[in-house]
Amino acid sequence: MKSPWFYAPSIPEIGHSFELESDEARHASKAARLKVGDSATVGNGVGLTAPVILEEIHRSRVRVRVESIERAEPRHPEFHLASALPKGDRLATLLSMATQVGFTSFTPLTCERSVALPSQATPDRWSRVVREAGKQSRQAWLPEIKPATTPAVFSDTRPSGAKLLLMDPSGEFISEWLRRASQDPPPSIYVLIGPEGGFTQAEIEHTIQKGAELTAVATGILRIETAAVATLSRLAELSEARPGHSPPT
């Protein structure tokens, strides 16, 4: 059985002890029902993980000792997701499932046909959703939540060498794109997911001018969260791709 997983903003040196933050401490003592002497794993969300031993437990106060430290390499290729926001709690579903699959960053999109718009209060909640999903899937790297922007700005700020995919049912099916990309995977992939009403023609034309490739993950019109998670799941095949070996269709 895998040891429980927690997050901390920083991890001290091997042999040193530290206290988990209050939310993580309550999870350890109440939800996970850990006891003194039990083992767990603590990550910092940016590549470091540490097997630890619980030394003290007092309700919302848990002290652990670092047994060793491991460093995980960043995801390659990087997957940067920019998506219009679905209504209600569906964004939490998107972020939770996408974090379990694994990706690098999330940028909320404000599109011409957007129905839901990001508010100033939501990023903290999004970070909590990401952290809980990361614990479930034991992610050494958590996705970064970035400020909201437009499709045009997201496309314009893509770094040199990165691929830009605009997901649209009229585009080339993603299995064909993956066959080509697997021969020489790019360092990073930037993905645009539009609102359920779709991107406007002006938004599509601008991103194509910036080098975007129209790509389809399904033949029908998908919900935003479905399109995002389905796309990331297919792109994850590139993490295992090697020259001369195409990913499965």
Specify the CATH number for the domain of residue 20.
2.40.240.20
Does 247 map to a domain? no
Quote the crossing angle between the two packed helices 122-137 and 90-101, to the nearest 10°: 40
Residue 83 forms beta bridges with which residues?
A: 108, 193
Domain match, 88 and 202 both: yes
The last residue of one of the domains, among 56, 71, 86, is 71
Does 208 map to a domain? yes
Specify the CATH number for the domain of residue 121.
3.40.1280.10
Q: What is the largest CA-CA distance in the chain?
A: 60
Does 226 map to a domain? yes
Does 249 map to a domain? no
Tell me, what's the pLDDT at 118? 78
Does 41 map to a domain? yes
The last residue of one of the domains, among 51, 71, 91, is 71
Quote the number of domains for the chain. Answer: 2
Domain match, 24 and 117 both: no
Domain match, 131 and 213 both: yes
Residue 149 near residue 82 (C-beta atoms within 8 A)? yes
Query: What kind and span of H or E run contains 66?
Result: strand 61-66
- DSSP alpha helices (H): ranges in 18-142? 22-26, 90-101, 122-137
Domain match, 87 and 150 both: yes
Domain match, 135 and 59 both: no
Residue-wise over 128-139: b if at least 16 C-beta within 10 A, else e?
A: ebbbbbbbeeeb
Domain match, 121 and 100 both: yes
**What predicted TM-score, i.e. pTM, was given to this entire model?**
0.91
Question: Tens of pLDDT along the chain (249 residues)?
Answer: 688 999 999 999 999 999 999 999 998 988 888 999 999 999 999 999 999 999 999 878 999 999 999 999 999 999 999 999 998 889 999 999 999 999 999 999 999 999 988 775 578 889 999 999 999 999 999 999 999 999 999 999 999 999 999 999 999 999 999 999 999 999 999 999 999 899 999 999 999 999 999 999 998 889 999 999 999 999 999 986 443 333 444
Q: What is the pLDDT of residues 1-50, one digit of tens each?
A: 688 999 999 999 999 999 999 999 998 988 888 999 999 999 999 999 99
Domain match, 170 and 55 both: no
CA 21 – CA 245 distance, rounded (Å): 44
Does 101 map to a domain? yes
Domain match, 57 and 90 both: no
Does 98 map to a domain? yes
Q: What is the pLDDT of residues 118-137, one digit of tens each?
A: 775 578 889 999 999 999 99
The last residue of one of the domains, among 24, 50, 71, is 71
In terms of residue numbers, what domain contains 179?
Answer: 78-240
Domain match, 193 and 147 both: yes
Domain match, 91 and 202 both: yes
Tell me, what's the pLDDT at 120? 57
